[in-house]
Amino acid sequence: MKLLDIAFKDLLRAFRSAFLLVMMFGAPLLMTGIFYLAFGGLASGSASGLASGDEGGFDLPVTKVQVVNPDQPAAQYGGFSAGGMLVQFLQNEALQELVQTTVAPDEASARAAVDARQAALVLIIPPGFTAGIYTPDTHATITLYQDPTLTLGPGIVKGLVGQFLDGFSGSKIALGVTEAQLRQRGEVLDSLSAEGQKLLLAYSAWAQKMGESQSQGTNPLLDIQAPPTRAGQGAAASQSPATLVGLVMAGMLIFFVFFTGAGSAESLLTEDEQGTLSRLFTTPTPRSVILGGKFVSVFLTTIVQVIVLLVASALAFGIRWGQPLAVALVALGMVVAAAGFGVLLISFLRSSRQAGPVMGVVLTLTGMLGGLFTTGIADLPAAFNTVNLFTPHGWALRGWKLALAGAGPAEVLLPVLVMLAMGTVFFAVGVGFFRKRFA
Amino acid sequence: MDENQAVSQAAVRGVSFDVRVGEIFSLLGPNGAGKSTIISMLSCLLAPTSGDARVMGHSVVRAPMAVKAVIGVVPQDIALYPDLSARENLNFWGKMYGLRGAPLRQRGDEILELIGLVDRQRGAVEKFSDGMKRRLNIGIALLNRPQVIIMDEPTVGLDPQSRRNILDNVKELNRQGMTVCYTTHYMEEAQELSDHIAIMDQGQIIAYGTHAELIKIVGELDRIDLTLNVSSEQVLETWRMLAGVRQVSAQDGTLTLLVEDSTLVLPRLFESASRADVRITSVAVQEPNLEAVFLHLTGRALRDT
């Protein structure tokens, strides 16, 4: 019980220290936050990219459109109505965030709705719209009646209608070219025939699909594929910004957890210098319990830090750390390694005055060798990946890379076991030094 | 108690004394005399390389936990957690003495009342004055209702008022039945507080007894401190030969004489100085005290060592 009293006292003191709080939570989140703002934010736009404002995109109002469509399906065109197709296009689910299209019973009521500012614009489809599309050397005109105070919404609708009409214009051109080529071979294709209509509609459908794909940033003619990467070792250049933010946060997490491990262990030196350790030794509390309490506090402090940072970074940067059990295992291994490393490092020092510079140099150096500051750099020399296996930081980073890539508990077991082994050895040696000195 | 750790030189050697239950016992001596070493051994912080000490019948070597259970230690330096409040410090240290729950809260209330920090119990110790910290430093040593309280120079560096408060607290604790083992290099404190005093120098006890018994060592001699305008061996030799002068020593430009009757000796001192063409620039006369005892036994002034 006294052991936990000592550990909780240290935990309380740690969380009252502004410096430690900044180093434990502020610095890693701030440094990752800077990276996130520089790169990660670019990847967080909405899928449609325009209307949704909840992830940093533009927040456009939905444009209300009324359509007057007297263009009826005609038997000579196989019951097809180009006007009806345009209405369906505008009422497509994919466009719901941009336009809200309703069919008006007549032109007068639709114009009245715009005048009353109940709609942004009216599309008036002519009665012979379908015939105008099918018949060569003819044309049909769609009239647009809009609220003159609005520009953006009507502009978007104009673009969408233009995209739709381009599909049919292309169809007519394609049909004309096909007719001409067939004619040269002595064959005849009547645009009004079933074959002609089928060809027209197929081309138009392809054109619509093409336009939609391009508006979403993809091109159906090109299929760009990245080479597959091995989990945990993928080149950073091929990672998405969100993944890169996760890797940077992992690097910061490891660096500052190791810092906290050493910083917590340093309290043994400060208590020795302030006389509270000697005073503890004058109480009826065994020295093993006192030292044990100090060491437990190192573990407790780092555990709290890791939990807070994992949760905070997931909430702040949307980092998905991986499968819960794998994450827990990697976190456990890292805590043991960081606490053991901290206890060992501090056990070599004689005073807290030595601790600041020594911790700074050793932790920065081991952090660099462990690859904590180069998580965003691709194509590091192979030798570097070998060197970082000699540091607990390197193994911790390896564990987090695997977890971030979605690896399961079995896959993270190797780095976790190595971290546990390293941490245990470090801890045992450090405790040995401390016992020799104080017990 | 015998020897302390002997690496190249023992900090204390051949030390042996008794402290009676319910008394105030003082270890008086200059810095480096070995007082804190003895306190560390009595507090079970330091094990003697040979010999033993018994506190309320418990051996510091064989039963240190039993000793720790009956003592309260007030260290020379303030040993508190500055970022915790007075109450939090008391709670933590109380737990280290095995107190929990209601008894811990009750004892904390009593201590805060005793040291006058009830109103400041929630404040961080780092914002306390030195005097308040010293009081809390003592209060923590009282948490386990110790039978023996060991105080290692608790008034070092304090202003006169805070020092007065602590001396009064020590007397009050003793009046309540607590045995006090007190170390100091202030002669006045040992003189005012102690039933028995052990004077230490260079790791050994050179005198032990009550205040009156110790004064008898110097035979009711007066002490005269003088300064001259020039250093003169001839004058010193003359003074050593004067009737009524028992001892003459010089340290840092000040001459100290132990004499039988200062009123008779002083005119002779001025006369001989005048004959040697030397002028006495300052004179201070003291009745017999522990300072004189130390001077008599070591040839050095307590305050200058």
Q: pLDDT tens for residues A255-273? A: 999 999 888 888 888 998 8
Is there a single domain that holds both residue B120 and residue B209?
Answer: yes
Is B18 contained in some domain? no
pTM of the complete model: 0.64
Interface test with B, best of A270, A279, A280, A288 (most B CBs within 10 A): A279
Is there a single domain that holds both residue B116 and residue B142?
Answer: yes
**The pLDDT of residue A136:** 67
- The pLDDT profile of chain A, 439 residues, written as one tens digit per residue, is 889 999 999 989 988 888 888 888 888 888 888 877 776 554 444 333 333 444 444 456 788 899 999 888 877 777 778 888 888 888 887 777 788 899 998 889 999 998 888 888 898 988 888 887 777 667 778 888 888 888 778 888 888 888 788 777 777 777 777 777 777 777 766 655 666 667 666 766 666 665 555 445 444 444 444 444 444 444 444 456 667 888 888 999 999 999 998 888 888 889 988 999 999 999 999 888 888 888 888 889 999 999 999 999 888 888 888 899 999 999 999 999 999 999 899 888 888 888 888 888 998 888 888 888 887 676 677 777 788 888 999 999 999 999 988 888 999 999 999 999 999 999 899 888 888 887 6
**The pLDDT of residue A148:** 83
**The pLDDT of residue B249:** 86
Q: Does B69 touch chain A (CB under 8 A)?
A: yes
Is there a single domain that holds both residue B206 and residue B252?
Answer: no
Does the interface predicted TM-score (ipTM) exceed 0.90? no
List pLDDT tens digits, range A347-400. 888 888 888 888 889 988 888 888 888 876 766 777 777 888 889 999 999 999
Domains of chain A: 2-42+239-438 (no CATH), 63-215 (3.40.1710)
Tell me the two tokens of residue B30: 């200059």
Is B299 contained in some domain? no
Instruction: Quote the mean pLDDT of chain B.
Output: 87
Is there a single domain that holds both residue B263 and residue B206?
Answer: no
How close A294 gets to chain B, by Cα (Å)?
14
Q: By the 8 A CB rule, do A76 and A192 touch? A: yes
Is there a single domain that holds both residue B183 and residue B258?
Answer: no
Q: By the 8 A CB rule, do B292 and B247 touch? A: no
Is there a single domain that holds both residue B180 and residue B125?
Answer: yes
Is B114 contained in some domain? yes
Is B263 contained in some domain? yes
**The pLDDT of residue A195:** 67
- Judge: B68–A282 Cβ closer than 8 Å, yes or no: yes
Query: Which of B215, B236, B263 is the last residue before a domain boundary?
Result: B215
Task: Give the CATH number, domain containing residue B243.
Answer: 3.30.70.100
Is there a single domain that holds both residue B197 and residue B127?
Answer: yes
Is there a single domain that holds both residue B211 and residue B230?
Answer: no
Q: Does A19 touch chain B (CB under 8 A)?
A: no
> Nearest by CB to B83, which of A16, A278, A283?
A16
Tell me the two tokens of residue A24: 């434990």
Please state the rounded mean pLDDT for residues B240-249. 88
Is there a single domain that holds both residue B118 and residue B182?
Answer: yes
- Judge: B79–A13 Cβ closer than 8 Å, yes or no: no
Q: Total structural domains in chain B?
A: 2
Of A431 and B220, more confident: A431
Q: In DSSP terms, which residues pair with B205 in a beta bridge?
A: B200
Query: Which of B173, B192, B215 is the last residue before a domain boundary?
Result: B215
Is B4 contained in some domain? no
How close B81 gets to chain A, by Cα (Å)?
8
Is B13 contained in some domain? no
Is there a single domain that holds both residue B198 and residue B117?
Answer: yes
Chain A contacts of B79, Cβ < 8 Å?
274-276, 278-279
How far, in Å, CA of A43 to CA of A65, rounded? 32
How far, in Å, CA of A391 to CA of A411, rounded? 20
Please state the rounded mean pLDDT for residues B267-272. 90
**The pLDDT of residue A231:** 45
How close A256 gets to chain B, by Cα (Å)?
23
> Nearest by CB to A13, which of B77, B84, B98?
B84
Is there a single domain that holds both residue B58 and residue B162?
Answer: yes
> Nearest by CB to A13, which of B83, B93, B97?
B83
Query: Which of B176, B194, B215 is the last residue before a domain boundary?
Result: B215
**The pLDDT of residue A178:** 74
Is B64 contained in some domain? yes
Residue in chain A closest to B140 (alpha carbons) equals A279
Task: Give the CATH number, domain containing residue B124.
Answer: 3.40.50.300
> Nearest by CB to A279, which of B75, B95, B144?
B75
Measured torsion, CA atoms of residues A406, A409, A410, A415, in degrees rounded to the nearest 10: 90
**The pLDDT of residue A422:** 93
A122-125 own/partner pairs: CB under 8 Å, 24+ apart: A122/A65, A122/A66, A122/A67, A122/A68, A122/A146, A123/A65, A123/A66, A123/A67, A123/A68, A123/A86, A123/A90, A123/A157, A123/A161, A124/A68, A125/A67, A125/A68, A125/A69, A125/A70, A125/A71, A125/A83, A125/A86
Domain with B247 in it: 221-287
**The pLDDT of residue B146:** 93
Is there a single domain that holds both residue B122 and residue B245?
Answer: no
Of B216 and B124, more confident: B124
List pLDDT tens digits, range A205-250. 666 665 555 445 444 444 444 444 444 444 444 456 667 888 888 9
Is B295 contained in some domain? no
